[in-house]
Amino acid sequence: MAWHDNLGNPKARHEAAIIVREFAGRNIDIGGVASDDGGAAFMYAEGQFLTRGQYLDDIRALLAARGQVVVVKRVIADVLLVKIEFSAGNGGTSAESNESASESNSGNTGGGAGSPEGNSGTTEGEQLTLLQFLDEIHREHGPRIAAPDHVVTTAPLGSGCPATEPQIVYDPKPYPPVWFGAAAPTALRRAVRLGDGFFGAGSSPTARFAEQVQVVRDALAEAGRPAADFPIAKRVYIAVDDDAGRARGRIDAALAGLYGQRNEQIEAAVVTGTPADCVRELRQVAQAGAGLILFTPLFDQSGQMERLAAEVLPELG
């Protein structure tokens, strides 16, 4: 008799049988632990479990001559899927031993590995089961060191199946605004369709940015969205210096380092020069449609921000 034949809930018994049969077609034996209400607390792949790589040697030492632990694959980071191969006479993975493991854990609803009532381990001549070995690991090294390779973990009683009976989930509101960066007309229209704002690139010259803004505004009108509810911004690479030539040379060198080479189009997008020069060019960016301008100095950031705050921003109003 299979472990699921003993489940008291007919629906759970039927569904468990289907799952076991489907996995058997892929040569994977499925074990299970009953819950107090006659269902399945969880189902797991027999003969394998999950653990962290740092505990692998300790687990192998604990198993000792009773078998060997073989790494199947690395699941993620240091989490390993391992297979346990019991030595002859020390715990095969036959159907009989699987049933014994499941029956001995029929009252375990906590998702951990249980053992036969009144027996915390195995006696001489008794076959070791996967869940019993996991229980040994927990006692020896602490909880959460190893866990079954879960196939099914059931939803709480009365909650329904999340896959077929969707539940109310956490739905944060108001949502944070989603700003799109875009350049091509298709991408700009997508920003209007899916986003909450448009952010022009620092590499786009002001004239190009103005063209992009027009595409966005046209798309907003077509979609019936108020332009006032769709903010537009632009990043501006900026360099302010009393010596305009020095400012240009420093920002061009910084851009070449950022992009890997000189690029005339990107250099043309920069706002640079004396404070008065920067004020004039920034006004052009605002007139092109930017309601918000993100200053991005690429050298001497603290010194540049001090000059912008003292000599440029007050002139912009």
With 0.75 as the threshold, say if the pTM is over it: no
Taking 50 as the pLDDT cut, the residues of the chain under it are 91-126, 162-170
pLDDT at position 127 is: 53
CATH 3.20.20.30 is right for the domain spanning 179-316: yes
CA angle 289, 292, 297 (to 5 degrees): 115
**Domain ranges across the chain:** 3-153, 179-316
Provide, for the chain, the percentages of residues in helix, strand and coil under a 3-state DSSP scheme, each rounded to the nearest 5: 45, 20, 35
d(CA 234, CA 80): 46
pLDDT at position 105 is: 39
pLDDT at position 298 is: 93
pLDDT at position 197 is: 95
Beta strands in 8-111 (DSSP E): 30-34, 40-52, 67-76, 79-86
| C-alpha torsion sign, points 34, 40, 45, 51 | negative
Residues 99, 89 contacting (CB under 8 angstroms)? no
Largest CA distance in the chain: 92
